[in-house]
């Protein structure tokens, strides 16, 4: 209810005005009194608010479709009841769509309560964005303005057999069929909220449900886009994110039958759709895990995950003029060959320490198993937190390889984060003899740094590091210190 109230207030306060807007609210079997609140608002704003009540459908697809049936405006925009809009969002989006004759307009979305939102597509405003030559496939949530004529002409609807991820096929087809897709990066249009009680359906989705929906998601891309580079450009997102999460660090913790089920689904998707071009465009870690699926078996995949998650980057084995990832127990099959991606392979480091220099800087120390990393790279070695660069202090050989120490000034982190807070995954970048390479920074066994509170402008923020439980990657988080977060932390026993 608190989230719904904030959502509705953001809609009723839109500068576009009530006369140019209709709010179609679908109450999908809510149990917290939200339906009564909607009815009260419909009575107060009869020309603006329309409500439909129905039994719970089990996911967002059905209520989104019911909303489309009721909508009458020239454009439609989907808003989750946990989220909210910036005050000028709809006015700015509609103005841009009219000016540019755009069928789809994506306004910058920011995360609240450390919810991660891909920001690459919002690097700059662009009148015309190519679906296949941009970061748009990484931002397929339905939180965009859609021309209703496009939706109805192609009868675009959400797949109701997908209790999760159903917005992605809808958004993909809309962007695929649109005459023009525009991106606006000049304003915080959409505030995507991670609920502090973590009870929304995306967070609660069960593995069997996720397996089925990921397979449907990938199959529907293939149904829409013919095989080739364009399909691969979209599937790079799905294999790099949804499929990669299925072979994440938590796979070994599942029971044997469930692991076999996961492996079977991933193997089918790999066999059907993982082309050489698609594989070559994946992150080095995902590439190796999916190559283990394709060229090895479940035991090989588990060996790779166990090494990455528990012991860190394996050594490099040189056989003739070929480089191989030296995963224990798997030998040197073709799928371990990293010769063609040596720059990415050299970028694989493990964080071994994080610490504070007073309250001004956070220092991250990472290790490569390569004792001569600096010479092998032949150029600069950097670490970024999202798009925020760190300062490389030194690259020093030691008895176990090479240590790379990087400093992140807190003021830089605060200035580079959204006012609502932001999670910044850490990535290593190398640029040298073998070209440019990049890899996510892992931290097996590392204890994250304790948070420090800093003021930025008129607000307080906690700056800290954490580990992504599914991927094992190190994340730097800037989180607003709010009464709601403090209350939620107290409810969890102060954790």
CA torsion 224→183→160→150, rounded to 10°? -70
Place of tokens 């479709």: 65
Task: Identify whether the C-beta of residue 289 lies closer than 8 Å to the C-beta of residue 305.
Answer: yes
pLDDT of residue 51: 97
Q: What is the pLDDT of residue 304?
A: 97
3 state DSSP class of 380: coil
**Cα–Cα distance list, 285 to 98, 161, 240, 293, 368 (Å):** 43, 31, 10, 13, 15
Residue in 102, 99, 105, 60 with CA at minimum distance from that of residue 83:
60
Residue 322, pLDDT score:
96
**Contact by Cβ (8 Å): 191, 112:** yes
- How confident is the model at residue 450, as a pLDDT? 87
pLDDT per residue, tens digit, the chain (495 aa), is 889 999 999 999 999 999 999 999 999 999 989 999 999 999 999 999 999 999 999 999 999 999 999 999 999 999 999 999 999 999 999 999 999 999 999 999 998 877 888 889 999 999 999 999 999 999 999 999 999 999 999 999 999 999 999 999 999 999 999 999 999 999 999 999 887 665 544 444 589 999 999 999 999 999 999 999 999 999 999 999 999 999 999 999 999 999 999 999 999 999 999 999 999 999 999 999 999 999 999 999 999 999 999 999 999 999 999 999 999 999 999 999 999 999 999 999 999 999 999 889 999 999 999 999 999 999 999 999 999 999 999 999 999 999 999 999 999 999 998 888 888 999 999 999 999 999 999 999 898 888 999 999 888 999 999 998 888 999 999 988 876 655 555 555 544
Using an 8 Å Cβ cutoff, are 348 and 441 in contact?
A: no
Whether the Cβ atoms of residue 161 and residue 72 lie closer than 8 Å to each other: no
Model pLDDT, residue 488: 57
CA atoms of 96 and 90, how far apart (whole Å):
10
E strands present in 414-494: 422-432, 435-440, 452-456, 459-467, 474-480
DSSP H helical ranges for 250-283: 256-273, 276-280
Sign of the C-alpha dihedral computed for residues 142, 147, 148 and 150 taken in this order: negative
> pTM here?
0.91
Q: 268 and 215 in contact (C-beta within 8 Å)?
A: yes
Residue 455, both tokens: 């003021």
């Amino acid at each position: 209810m608190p989230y719904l109230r904030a959502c509705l207030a953001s809609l009723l306060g839109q500068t576009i005005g009530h006369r140019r807007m209709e709010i179609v609210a679908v109450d999908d079997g809510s149990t917290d009194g939200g339906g009564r609140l909607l009815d009260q608002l419909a009575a107060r704003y009869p020309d603006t608010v329309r409500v439909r009540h129905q039994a719970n459908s089990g996911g967002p697809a059905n209520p989104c479709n019911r909303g489309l049936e009721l909508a009458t405006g020239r454009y439609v925009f989907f808003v989750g009841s946990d989220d909210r809009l910036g005050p000028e969002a709809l006015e700015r989006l509609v103005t841009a769509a009219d000016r540019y004759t755009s069928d789809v307009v994506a306004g910058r979305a920011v995360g609240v309560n450390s919810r991660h939102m891909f920001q690459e597509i919002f690097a700059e405003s662009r009148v015309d964005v190519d679906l296949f030559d941009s970061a748009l496939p990484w931002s397929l949530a339905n939180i965009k303005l859609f021309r209703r004529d496009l939706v109805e002409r192609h009868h675009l609807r959400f797949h109701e057999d997908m209790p999760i991820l159903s917005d992605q096929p809808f958004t993909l087809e809309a962007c695929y069929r649109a005459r023009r897709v525009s991106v606006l990066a000049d304003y915080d249009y959409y505030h995507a909220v991670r609920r502090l009680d973590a009870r929304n359906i995306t967070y609660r989705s069960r593995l069997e449900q996720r397996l089925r929906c990921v397979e449907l998601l990938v199959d529907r891309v293939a149904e829409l886009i013919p095989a080739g580079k364009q399909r691969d450009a979209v599937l790079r997102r799905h294999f790099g994110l949804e499929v990669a999460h299925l072979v994440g660090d938590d796979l070994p913790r599942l029971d044997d039958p469930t692991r076999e089920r996961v492996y079977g689904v991933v193997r089918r998707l790999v066999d059907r759709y993982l082309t050489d071009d698609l594989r070559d465009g994946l992150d080095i870690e995902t590439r190796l895990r999916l190559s283990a699926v394709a060229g090895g078996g479940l035991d090989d995949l588990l060996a790779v995950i166990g090494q990455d998650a528990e012991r860190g980057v394996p050594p490099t084995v040189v056989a003739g003029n070929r480089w191989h990832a030296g995963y224990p127990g798997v030998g040197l099959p073709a799928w371990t060959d990293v010769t063609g991606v040596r720059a990415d392979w050299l970028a694989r480091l493990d964080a071994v320490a994080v610490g504070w220099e007073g309250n001004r800087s956070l220092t991250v120390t990472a290790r490569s198993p390569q004792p001569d990393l600096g010479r092998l790279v032949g150029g600069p070695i950097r670490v970024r937190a999202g798009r925020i660069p760190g300062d490389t202090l030194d690259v020093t050989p030691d008895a176990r390889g090479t240590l790379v120490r990087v400093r992140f000034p807190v003021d830089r982190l605060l200035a580079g984060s959204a006012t609502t807070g932001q999670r910044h995954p850490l990535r290593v970048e190398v640029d040298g003899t073998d070209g440019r390479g990049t890899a996510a920074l892992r931290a097996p066994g590392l204890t994250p740094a304790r948070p420090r509170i800093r003021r930025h402008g008129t607000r307080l923020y906690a700056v800290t590091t954490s580990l992504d439980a599914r991927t094992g990657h190190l994340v730097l988080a800037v989180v607003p210190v709010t009464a709601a977060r403090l209350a939620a932390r107290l409810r969890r026993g102060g954790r």
